[in-house]
Chains A and B, each alone.
Chain A
Amino acid sequence: MDHRDLIAKLHPFERQVLPVLRNYQEISEIAQAAKVKDVEAMRAIQWLANKGILTIKIEKNKVIDLRENGKKYKEEGLPEKRFLQVISNEFKGLNIIVKKAKLNREEATACIGLLKQKKAIEIQKADDFLHIKITEQGKDLLKKGFPEENFLAKSFPFSLTEIEEKEKKVLEELQKRKEIIALEEKKKITIDLTDLGKKLASHDLRGEVINRLTTGMLKTGEWKNKIFRAYDVEVNVPAKFPGKKHFVNQAIEDIKKIWLEMGFKEMTGNYVHSAFWDLDALFVPQDHPAREMQDTYYLEGSAELPEKVLSEVKKVHETGEGTASSGWGYQYSHAEAAKILLRTHTTVLSAITLAALKREDLPAKFFVVGKVFRNETLDWKHLFEFYQVDGIVIDPDANLQHLKGYLTQFYKKMGYLKVRMRPGFFPYVEPGLEVDVFHPLRKEWVELGGAGIFRPEVTKPLLGFECPVLAWGQGMERIIAEYWKINDIRELNQNNVKQLREQKIWLK
């Protein structure tokens, strides 16, 4: 019978252990002979047993061994024998006997009881002391020898099954006595090869299979007459991780791609800006609460302002001049405009883009995906910097229905099939909208961003002419965190190596 398949599947441990089994039966011997560790030998034996190559026999056995006193008596003789040896036909005082036989009081008392039972001594009481002499039976006993002593003379430990019938009584007696006999249950494992095992063990297991294919084998063609050890392909292997993009960047890139596909041009720019570009140019009043210190990060110094645009923006804030607006009706402050801050929204780039745009560039569409900042203390649901997506469409024919069209298309590509617009308020758009999407899993409307048409007070000073500009902005963290089921928003920037390695890819 050909056992090649079976041999091919043997693990190296099995291969090492199997030949040894012809000569050894016990685990530690097997392990030693096969040059593997005990546990490895045991595992190999278990696997081999599963394959029907060997049988494992486990015997439970009661084993007799000697305890402390047992060992002592085996060497020094039983105390009752020593007792008997030092007494004679005449009565002797107990004290003298004990001294001569080198016994302690307790042993002596036990000896008296025992020897009396065997009628080996005679006892007399005089002057409150015991006097003892030997009897004929006692002499006889000394001559014949004690059966207990014969028992102790055996070689320990041995199995209870090996005991002879007549010894049982002696054992029983000894067990009653203190610290002589130990009776323990022990497991004994023996390995027997099955017929199949015997056949396999006779093969040269090391020579016939290839563990690892080598360049040498390929050169010589040595592999041709061999078989490959078959692996357990179903077993788990240690993890290995690829280099990869940070998961947030994976999402950002995909979102950027959507806008590029829709014909939008990317805007990029600084994080540090003047309040003029970030807020004034967007007609945010100079006393707007969002400009306060607790919301916006300010930096030292004051920024240079673009003269021409500045004067247009100033006029529109003060009186609405150049538009049909009444303006804010206050005195515009250059100092407020020149404050330096970390951009509070990516809409600042929309303002800068509009200021650079010429009439002949229209229609034009732009987008940005970038970080914005809000003065917050970091905790599990607050970040002081986060991603915002902004888009603008500058088109003389643009209207609110187009805005709804662009947003619906974008969100469709993001996996949200239904989009709803509600009235909303942002100082720089009119009409202003809140944009909700219908969450496919949660089955409810979720607010994702704001949108609208830039106010004429924004577009006229920047463009130099009036033109509808559709605009929208949206935070990204919520979508990103939800995709990876992240509850603590700080994890987005924690760079936990385990998380970076194990997180699945962005595929929406």
Chain B
Amino acid sequence: MPTIKLNKDVFEELIGKKLPLELLKDRISMLGTDLESIEGNEITVEVFPNRPDMLSEQGFARAFSSFMGIKTGLRKYHVKKSGEKLFVKNTPDYYPYAIAFIAKNIQLNEEKVRELIQLQEKIGVTMLRNRKKGGIGLYPLEKLQFPITFEGRNPDQIAFRPLEYPDVLPAREILQKHKKGKEYGHLMEKWSKYTIFVDHNGTIMSMPPIINSHVVGKIDEETENLFVECTGTDFNTINIALNIFAATLLDMGAEVLSIEVHHDRKTFDIPNLNSKSMTLDVSYANKILGLNLNEKRAIELLERMGYGCEKNKVLIPAYRADILHPIDLVEDIAIAYGYENFKEIIPNVATIGEEDPLETFLRKVREILIGFGLLECKNLHLSTKEILNDLMNLNEKIIPLQNALGEHNRLRNALLPCLIKNLAENQHQEYPQNLFEIGRIFSYGKSETGITEHESLSIVLCHEKTDFTEIRQILDGLMRELAIAFSVKEAEHPSYITGRVGEITIEQEKIGVIGEISPEVLARWEILTPLVALELDAEKLWKAVRR
């Protein structure tokens, strides 16, 4: 989740009130963000990804001052027309949209530049999914000549000096040499055309969503007027992203002027900060929340979350990205009401508790084995080819993971290798070491995913005097307890000593293997103590019990 840093002085000025630290901490977390830390003048908060509008000091303060009842209701924002135009032409299907507006008379200082860059970055990471869905660009207005065009162009015909870089570079080299090009170039791997902003003079302003031009696309403390654009794959997303930016600049004291965007014979003024509306049935909110609010109280609570209300309609600020359904309004009512004020009620509803029958069965098997003095182990479900196959002298088909970050990149197909690994790692401990595990194993098979899962049971007995008889006694004992008729038939298995290994069968069906582990396998594991083992399909035991 994204975190943002707030300057406490700026923040208090914005909400128009100084608050005691404890109250500030408490209220911030009850608004729906996580307070990470307050150190000196710096407040760090975590903003939930559904509230990108709170990713700036201005946005955060806007929401917070409403919540505190200092300034409630829908904010009125005024946008004048600039008369300037942006043409969106010949853009590729994979990156079609661009919109922009103008902001004037911003007294930028170091602090404000930091705030704007923070907002730009955080929105880029969250809403715009690390620039996959788009990017935001800021330019000093003075350096541009309108009208401006956003277009797709053959990369070989693009060259400009990217931000903070000494030379003019061709587009493809920007992706290879520039820091941001290297970071985000993969997004454009399959692009036949790159997208660029060009001004009336033909100056390339930027190549979204990668980098601005150093010549016309660099803002600093001297900048007074801004050109702000947002480009991307989804119109609705970039529109709200730009609305968030416009509202933030207006809260900073700037004057926002709209630009006429011409796209596919359609024309619209950007930004459009008019609220959207949604009908809310108060009884729906009451039902979900278990409250009994009247309309007046519900409106009051909505206003504390920055909404306006007009004739049964809730007016939703243009910068809110997360209102899809009336349930989202219900949540905001709940937040304004205060989660701490909800009662704890256990309703008088009769339902019958029930453990999964297989789980009950496995628990009983576990108890029988513990009665034999065995210690239960619990290994991870992910393992390695070396453990599952190589060290066991096996060559089984094991299911690989596509993208494991660590060395554990296979789904285990048996428990025995995991238990033997435990023995190999515990050789300095006292013997006998008699262990078992009941757990999930994976193999290819018929299912929705092509993978089947089974509960398996494995037992290992490891000490100087262990032998086949001892493990067979435990198998016999277990089967006796479960009243299952079974037999052990001579078999071959690469992990076991020939002539000392058998197949466990129930009604001719093979359910597992039992025997003495071969010294060759022990040598591979560097285990110096004899070891006998069994592994069987626990679900087949369960089936047999129910028969």
A274 to B372, CA, bound (A): 40
A259 to B453, CA, bound (A): 25
Q: Does B380 contact A (CB under 8 A)?
A: yes
Please give, as numbers and ranges, the residues of chain B lying within 8 Å of A325 by CB-CB distance.
Answer: 324-325
* Residue of A with least CB distance to B403: A293
Q: Does B330 contact A (CB under 8 A)?
A: yes
With A289-B129, A431-B330, A493-B378 known as contacts, the answer to whether A399 contacts B288 (CB < 8 A) is yes
A377 to B411, CA, bound (A): 16
A192 to B276, CA, bound (A): 108
With A293-B403, A455-B325 known as contacts, the answer to whether A246 contacts B353 (CB < 8 A) is no
- Could you tell me which residues of chain B, from 297 to 316, have a CB within 8 Å of some CB in chain A? none
* Closest beta carbon of chain B to A143's beta carbon, Å: 79
With A243-B375, A293-B403 known as contacts, the answer to whether A398 contacts B347 (CB < 8 A) is yes
A384 to B405, CA, bound (A): 10
* Closest beta carbon of chain B to A355's beta carbon, Å: 13
Tell me how many residues of B have a C-beta within 8 Å of chain A.
Answer: 89
A273 to B236, CA, bound (A): 31
Which of A265, A294, A422, A432 touches B352 (beta carbons < 8 Å)? Answer: A265
At the interface with chain A, which of B105-113, B182-190, B358-366?
B358-366
**Contact call B347/A271, Cβ cutoff below 8 A:** no
Most chain A Cβ neighbours within 10 Å, of B234, B236, B356: B356
Q: Does B350 contact A (CB under 8 A)?
A: yes
Q: Does A96 contact B (CB under 8 A)?
A: no
**Contact call A395/B31, Cβ cutoff below 8 A:** no
* Closest beta carbon of chain A to B275's beta carbon, Å: 15
* Closest beta carbon of chain A to B296's beta carbon, Å: 21
A455 to B345, CA, bound (A): 21
At the interface with chain B, which of A118-126, A170-178, A497-505?
A497-505
A59 to B38, CA, bound (A): 76
**Contact call A253/B363, Cβ cutoff below 8 A:** yes
**Contact call A402/B346, Cβ cutoff below 8 A:** yes
Q: Does B48 contact A (CB under 8 A)?
A: yes
- Could you tell me which residues of chain A, from 345 to 377, have a CB within 8 Å of some CB in chain B? 363-365, 371, 373, 375-377
With A263-B350, A263-B351, A423-B339 known as contacts, the answer to whether A271 contacts B440 (CB < 8 A) is yes
* Residue of B with least CB distance to A283: B324
With A299-B399, A303-B448, A385-B382 known as contacts, the answer to whether A243 contacts B371 (CB < 8 A) is yes
Please give, as numbers and ranges, the residues of chain A lying within 8 Å of B471 by CB-CB distance.
Answer: none
**Contact call B405/A298, Cβ cutoff below 8 A:** no
Q: Does B377 contact A (CB under 8 A)?
A: yes
* Residue of A with least CB distance to B347: A402
Q: Does B413 contact A (CB under 8 A)?
A: no
**Contact call B355/A260, Cβ cutoff below 8 A:** yes
A125 to B327, CA, bound (A): 133
With A423-B32, A433-B339 known as contacts, the answer to whether A384 contacts B382 (CB < 8 A) is yes
Q: Does A324 contact B (CB under 8 A)?
A: yes
Which of A324, A364, A377, A501 touches B406 (beta carbons < 8 Å)? Answer: A377
Please give, as numbers and ranges, the residues of chain A lying within 8 Å of B399 by CB-CB distance.
Answer: 299
**Contact call B403/A298, Cβ cutoff below 8 A:** yes
**Contact call A256/B380, Cβ cutoff below 8 A:** no
Please give, as numbers and ranges, the residues of chain B lying within 8 Å of A501 by CB-CB distance.
Answer: 375
Q: Does B545 contact A (CB under 8 A)?
A: no
* Closest beta carbon of chain B to A14's beta carbon, Å: 31
A401 to B425, CA, bound (A): 50
Which of A371, A401, A421 touches B381 (beta carbons < 8 Å)? Answer: A371
**Contact call B442/A262, Cβ cutoff below 8 A:** no
Q: Does B373 contact A (CB under 8 A)?
A: yes
Please give, as numbers and ranges, the residues of chain B lying within 8 Å of A243 by CB-CB distance.
Answer: 369-376, 434
**Contact call A455/B351, Cβ cutoff below 8 A:** no
With A299-B399, A325-B325, A402-B290 known as contacts, the answer to whether A263 contacts B352 (CB < 8 A) is yes
Q: Does A405 contact B (CB under 8 A)?
A: yes
**Can you list, as one digit per residue, whether each of B398-437 has a CB less than 8 Å from chain A (1) or not (0)?**
0111111110100100000000001001100110011100
Q: Does A221 contact B (CB under 8 A)?
A: no
With A453-B288, A497-B433 known as contacts, the answer to whether A263 contacts B353 (CB < 8 A) is yes
**Contact call A304/B335, Cβ cutoff below 8 A:** no
Which of A274, A342, A365, A383 touches B448 (beta carbons < 8 Å)? Answer: A274
At the interface with chain B, which of A131-139, A223-231, A326-334?
A326-334
* Residue of A with least CB distance to B440: A271
A455 to B339, CA, bound (A): 18
**Contact call B405/A294, Cβ cutoff below 8 A:** yes
Please give, as numbers and ranges, the residues of chain B lying within 8 Å of A293 by CB-CB distance.
Answer: 402-403
Q: Does B157 contact A (CB under 8 A)?
A: no
**Contact call A256/B355, Cβ cutoff below 8 A:** yes
Most chain A Cβ neighbours within 10 Å, of B234, B335, B378, B399: B378
Q: Does B69 contact A (CB under 8 A)?
A: no
With A244-B375, A363-B349 known as contacts, the answer to whether A268 contacts B358 (CB < 8 A) is yes
Q: Does A272 contact B (CB under 8 A)?
A: yes
**Contact call A405/B344, Cβ cutoff below 8 A:** yes
Please give, as numbers and ranges, the residues of chain A lying within 8 Å of B346 by CB-CB distance.
Answer: 402, 405-406, 409
Please give, as numbers and ranges, the residues of chain B lying within 8 Å of A399 by CB-CB distance.
Answer: 287-290
- Could you tell me which residues of chain A, from 290 to 333, have a CB within 8 Å of some CB in chain B? 293-294, 297-301, 303-305, 320, 323-330
A243 to B132, CA, bound (A): 55
Q: Does B175 contact A (CB under 8 A)?
A: no
**Contact call A327/B324, Cβ cutoff below 8 A:** yes
**Contact call A266/B356, Cβ cutoff below 8 A:** yes
**Can you list, as one digit per residue, whether each of A389-409 has a CB less than 8 Å from chain B (1) or not (0)?**
000000101111110111011
**Contact call B401/A299, Cβ cutoff below 8 A:** yes
Please give, as numbers and ranges, the residues of chain B lying within 8 Å of A455 by CB-CB distance.
Answer: 325, 327
**Contact call A324/B325, Cβ cutoff below 8 A:** yes
Q: Does B487 contact A (CB under 8 A)?
A: no
A476 to B376, CA, bound (A): 19
Please give, as numbers and ranges, the residues of chain B lying within 8 Å of A448 by CB-CB distance.
Answer: none
**Contact call B334/A431, Cβ cutoff below 8 A:** yes
Q: Does B449 contact A (CB under 8 A)?
A: yes
Which of A267, A342, A377, A400 touches B289 (beta carbons < 8 Å)? Answer: A400
Q: Does A31 contact B (CB under 8 A)?
A: no
**Contact call B324/A326, Cβ cutoff below 8 A:** yes
A497 to B399, CA, bound (A): 29
**Contact call B435/A495, Cβ cutoff below 8 A:** yes
**Contact call B351/A287, Cβ cutoff below 8 A:** no
Which of A242, A246, A421, A425 touches B377 (beta carbons < 8 Å)? Answer: A246
**Contact call B129/A400, Cβ cutoff below 8 A:** no
Q: Does A264 contact B (CB under 8 A)?
A: yes
A508 to B106, CA, bound (A): 60
A432 to B1, CA, bound (A): 15
**Contact call B347/A405, Cβ cutoff below 8 A:** yes
Q: Does A430 contact B (CB under 8 A)?
A: yes
Q: Does A249 contact B (CB under 8 A)?
A: yes
With A265-B354, A493-B379 known as contacts, the answer to whether A298 contacts B349 (CB < 8 A) is no
**Contact call B355/A300, Cβ cutoff below 8 A:** no
* Residue of A with least CB distance to B421: A495
Please give, as numbers and ranges, the residues of chain A lying within 8 Å of B382 by CB-CB distance.
Answer: 297, 373, 384-385
Which of B342, B355, B435 touches A400 (beta carbons < 8 Å)? Answer: B342
Please give, as numbers and ranges, the residues of chain B lying within 8 Å of A401 by CB-CB distance.
Answer: 289-290, 342-345
Please give, as numbers and ranges, the residues of chain B lying within 8 Å of A432 by CB-CB distance.
Answer: 331
Q: Does B37 contact A (CB under 8 A)?
A: no
Q: Does A424 contact B (CB under 8 A)?
A: yes
A243 to B402, CA, bound (A): 38
Which of A245, A260, A495 touches B379 (beta carbons < 8 Å)? Answer: A495
With A273-B449, A340-B449, A405-B344 known as contacts, the answer to whether A248 contacts B375 (CB < 8 A) is no
**Contact call B288/A287, Cβ cutoff below 8 A:** no
Please give, as numbers and ranges, the residues of chain A lying within 8 Å of B433 by CB-CB distance.
Answer: 497
- Ranked nearest first, the 9 interchain pairs of A and B with the lowest CB-CB distance are A423-B32, A399-B290, A425-B48, A401-B290, A325-B325, A431-B331, A260-B353, A243-B373, A377-B406
12 example contacts (A-B, Cβ-Cβ < 8 A) are as follows A243-B370, A245-B370, A273-B449, A297-B404, A299-B399, A377-B406, A397-B349, A405-B343, A406-B346, A423-B331, A431-B331, A497-B430
* Further contacts, 12 of them, CB under 8 A, given A423-B331, A431-B327, A453-B327: A243-B371, A243-B434, A245-B370, A246-B377, A274-B449, A297-B404, A385-B382, A419-B344, A421-B342, A425-B48, A430-B331, A496-B426
